[in-house]
Amino acid sequence: MGTYLATSYTIRDRLLQLWNDTQEYYKKEKVKQVCYISIEFLMGRFLQNAIINLNLEENYKKALAGMGYALEEIYEEELDPALGNGGLGRLAACFLDTLATHNYPAWGYGLRYNYGLFKQSIGTDGEQLEKTDIWLDKPYPFMVENHFIRIPIGFCGTVEDYVDPNTKETKEESNRSIWKPSEYVIAQANDILIPGYGTDNTNTLRLWSARAVEELDFEKFSFGDFKGASEQRLNAENLTNVLYPNDNEAEGKELRFKQQYFLVAATLYDIIRRLKEQKRPLEELPDFSAIQLNDTHPTLAIPELMRILVDQEMIEWDKAWEITQKTFSYTNHTILPEALERWPVKLITKLLPRHMQIIEMINWKFLEKNSQVGQNNKSKELRSKLSIIENSWDTLVRMAWLGCIGSHKVNGVSPIHSNIIKDQLFSHFSSIWPKKFVNVTNGVTPRRWLHACNPKLSDLITSTLESDDWIYDLSHLSKLREFADNEDFQLKWAAIKQYNKKKLQRFVKEQFGLDIGVHDVIYDVQIKRIHEYKRQLMNILSHVYNYLQIKKMTEEEKKQLEKKVVIIAGKAAPGYKAAKMIIKLINRVSKVINNDPEIGDLLKVIYIPNYSVTIAELLIPATDVSEHISTPGTEASGTSNMKFVLNGAITLGTYDGANLEIIENIGEENVFTFGIKASEVSQVKQNNIEKGAWNLMPKSLQGVLGIIEEGKFGDPEEFRMILQELKGVDRYILGNDFTSYLQAQKVINETWKNPEKWWKMSIIGCAGSGWASSDRTIKDYAETIWDIKPCPLPKIESNSQLNIIKNDQKLKLNKNYEKKINYYEKQIVLHQKNKRFRRVYNILDDWEK
């Protein structure tokens, strides 16, 4: 651990210098910056990514080797920061990498969770167990606490009328009031410095942690009330303890709502503080910062900015609203009702009374301007559809509606998803503002998701193309098509896949004591958060069917089968009962199949707990078939499908999300597709309601459900909820697609028998992945929504040691190369010996001097 920390601090020190240079240059140039607000940032391990981006990997390998350490072993010492959970957070992390790499001025804003979501393990009965993820119990070198940025955030309290200081009269027409919170929490800034690849530009991810205004009530402590003395501190820290507090109960709802406001209030304060440091008026905010709301969680930023502008900065309402709309843009990531947040008016009124008034005013002004005023039913229906405030079982504020109204652009994240939100979910808004709704398809960073996680494949691509330009511009991969039929290239490609499978094989053996094959074995992988619409249930039910079929076969018939290892990973939200049942069923099925001597190594099913970026980096390069089998029309985009195809896995997927763009870019003949299209889903669902899903279910699936109900995998009562759903309405149409899914698996098995065809499909998939880069995504955002431009730091003089470091060939020719390596060794040793980890600033320039 000491060597990891020492190595990490030398990298951090270099980043601190680059970060200071970057921020000073941005200020000097007064550039417009994007501020990306997200409740999640799933960063993954930082050290390897930073060393690669700074082009220092060879230097550190040699320096550490001289001390008896392997850099790869040092990488393994790092923990994954518990700052996110799924695709939302990983997308945000990819965006930060691209923004820095392409020199866009940018800030990420999120929360520094003490424990993240949870650390997942599997109990002896197959159930998900949730434990505290104590990732901060050891030093995390890459996060710097900024003691100068501490912001008081208010809650509750009262709202008083604004009194004109000149006339001493209340002016209701000003729409201005004074909010006096009754409780405060301090937002403490913690910064992670984000280096770009092949550039000096270094951006910021600023994470807020909650602190009490008064850490200890000394008076209570003096009188022996030791628990009460620390109550304020504990209540404050709860705000940033856990990602997504369980909101099934009232207390959880309140904590989750306060968490979201805490994030946006601290962020807006910080943005406006930086604006004022440049002595620029508030009217210039849209030219200073483009604020992107990553899903509905940060949409409270809209009424918060209005409160600041109207109540504190004394700007008239209409002008403040113009500034607000020009500043914000909103990304919708899902059409699922449960994810389109709706907060009770009573809750908002209690915690943020002034904000509730502002939301009501925004709503009233919008409705008066955009819906027909009158008493006829058509007018009432239109107002109901447009209104931010919904009157149903309770009076609720629709946060997605607020995001639409308060932003100048609203985007979906794939063509199919963008069309759905424009034509269905937000059709009433798109008819008013047709140009407001745009599409920006998601993407992933090739630096982490190929270059870093699959170095052997990265080296093969670079040597084959005789250039590493693809790392910066993924469109260069298209040149690999020329080698798709090349036998020698196919053999090298296949050998790398085997190498990565062996790494995974060792991991499975160490973690689970399970032996899995590598040669002539299909690795079939589905890694996503566990949700009914992602249909992990269909995946495992299909392998129950396959298991039953194998049991009926003769030994001769078994010899004709292709061997398969099925891997599923992902977490279920603590309060999501159906998802947790699916996890239990997967593990129960796995236990039966893996221990049945009649099955042997023909089929293995593995559930890998505590899925993380690090586990993904191990799984994705080893995968042959990646499953993206969501119900059509439910997966907004998906980015794991992009990571897999980039690493040579062949997609097994439905006509949903970014699967459609994979098909478009590499050809449907290079994808295993099945099931119906999104346009057919509503009719299938209607048939299930009218005729009963069980009556329409294929015999193959009926037989599988029957085996489960007979108790083959334990007490069937434990799975009653998910079985009844399938037999009843089958909302995610597993029954309708099951036969087609089994047929697709047969096609996979037959294709596997033809290696030349298989590896050609694999290579073409990678070659057609240029569109899947987050570099393309960010360019689209920058030009279509944010109106920002790259701002690279000026080139360092040619005699600078940094320029020599960045040019590996020149470096190797440099007669002082060995001295340079010795210098790195000394810096690492210096950090090791000093327990307080003394900072070593400007390592390279100091050496030069």
pLDDT digits (tens, 9 = 90+) for 101-140: 999 999 999 999 999 999 999 999 999 999 999 999 888 9
Is the same domain home to 581 and 674?
A: yes
pLDDT in tens, 541-600: 999 999 999 999 999 999 999 999 999 999 999 999 999 999 999 999 999 999 999 999
Q: Do the beta carbons of residue 242 and residue 116 sit within 8 Å?
A: yes
* Tokens standing for residue 165: 């200081």
| Calpha distance 10→692 (Å, rounded) | 64
- 644 and 746 inside one domain: yes
| Residue 372 belongs to a domain | yes
Specify the higher pLDDT residue, 759 or 86: 759
Q: Please report, to the nearest 10 degrees, the dihedral formed by the alpha carbons of residues 330, 336, 339, 344 taken in order.
A: 100
Residues 346 and 450 in one domain: no
423 and 458 fall within a common domain: no
Let me know whether 369 and 489 are in one domain.
no
pLDDT of residue 392: 77
Task: State the Cα–Cα distance between residues 701 and 727, nearest whole angstrom.
Answer: 10
How many domains does the chain divide into?
Answer: 2
Q: What is the domain-level CATH number for residue 584? A: 3.40.50.2000
Instruction: Give residue 849's pLDDT.
Output: 37
Mean pLDDT of the chain: 91
Calpha distance 415→411 (Å, rounded):
10
pLDDT digits (tens, 9 = 90+) for 656-701: 999 999 999 999 999 999 999 999 999 999 999 999 999 999 999 9
Percent of the chain residues past pLDDT 90, beyond the cut? 83
- Residue 836 pLDDT > 60, yes or no? no
Domain boundary among 722, 755, 772: 772
Our answer to whether residue 333 is catalytic in this structure is yes
SS3 816: coil
In terms of Cβ atoms closer than 10 Å to its own Cβ (0-12, 13-18, 19+), residue 657 is buried
Catalytic residue among 90, 258, 355, 529: 529
Residue 820 has pLDDT above 70, yes or no: no
Q: Sign of the CA dihedral 701, 707, 710, 712?
A: negative
Q: 333, 355, 448, 760: which is the annotated catalytic residue?
A: 333
User: Phi, psi at residue 436, to the nearest 5°?
Assistant: -70, -30
Residue 643 annotated to the active site: yes
Query: Do 313 and 358 reside in the same domain of the chain?
Result: yes
In a domain, 786, yes or no: no
686 vs 724: CA distance, rounded Å: 17
Per the DSSP assignment, residues forming a β-bridge with 778 are none
| Same domain, yes or no: 435 and 451 | no
Residue 795 in any domain: the answer is no
Pairing assessment for the beta strands 395-398 and 389-391 based on DSSP bridges: antiparallel
Q: State the pLDDT at residue 813.
A: 41
- For the chain, what's the residue count? 849
Chain center to CA of 20: 27
Q: Which of 350-354, 518-522, 760-764 bottoms out in mean pLDDT, i.e. has the lowest?
A: 518-522
Is 2 within a domain?
no
Catalytic one of 643, 760, 776, 831: 643
The answer on pLDDT for 225 being more than 70 is: no
Residues 399 and 533 in one domain: no
In the chain the first and final C-alpha atoms are separated, in Å, by 31
The one catalytic residue among 634, 639, 654, 777: 639
Task: Determine the structural domain holding residue 519 and report its residue range.
Answer: 446-772
Spatial contact of 556 and 604, defined as CB atoms under 8 Å apart: no
pTM for this model (two decimals): 0.91
Q: Is residue 521 part of a domain?
A: yes
457 and 379 inside one domain? no
Three-state secondary-structure class, residue 814 = coil
Choice among 14, 398, 436, 528 that is catalytic: 528
Q: Which region, left, alpha or beta, applies to residue 219 given φ > 0 means left and ψ of -120 to 50 means alpha?
A: alpha
Contact indicator for 416, 633 with CB cutoff of 8 Å:
yes
Q: Which residues of 352-377 are buried (b: 16+ CB within 10 A; e: fewer)?
A: bbbbbbbbbbbbeebbeebbeeeeee
Min mean pLDDT across 163-177, 218-232, 431-445, 825-839 is at 825-839
Which residue is associated with the tokens 């969501």?
A: 630
What pLDDT band is residue 838 in, cutting at 50, 70 and 90?
very low
Let me know whether 379 and 237 are in one domain: yes
Q: Mean pLDDT, to the nearest integer, of 203-211?
A: 97
For residue 106, what are its two tokens?
Answer: 């940018």
Residue 628 located in a structural domain: yes
Angstrom CA distances, 598 to 555, 556, 603, 704, stand at 9, 13, 10, 19
Instruction: Tell me whether residue 553 is exposed, middle or buried, using C-beta atoms within 10 angstroms of its C-beta: 0 to 12, 13 to 18, 19 or more.
Output: middle
Domain boundary among 422, 439, 456: 439
On whether residue 693 sits in a domain, the answer given is: yes
Catalytic residue among 12, 119, 531, 534: 534
Residue 254, pLDDT > 50, answer yes
- If phi > 0 it is left, if psi is from -120 to 50 it is alpha, else beta; for residue 795 that is beta
**Residues whose CB is less than 8 angstroms from the CB of residue 523 and which lie 6 or more positions away in sequence, other chains included:** 501, 504, 565, 567, 622, 623, 624, 625
Whether residue 803 has pLDDT greater than 90: no
Same domain, yes or no: 512 and 617: yes
Establish whether 170 is a catalytic residue. Answer: no
pLDDT at 413: 95
What local confidence, expressed as pLDDT, does residue 839 receive? Answer: 34
In a domain, 84, yes or no: yes
Where does a domain end: 393, 408, 439?
439
The pLDDT of residue 249 is 85
Q: CA 154, 158, 164: angle at the middle one, nearest 5?
A: 105
412 plus 535 within the same structural domain: no
Following DSSP, what letter does each residue of 438-485 receive, concatenated? EE----B-HIIIIIIT-HHHHHHHHHHHT--GGGT-GGGGGGGGGGTT
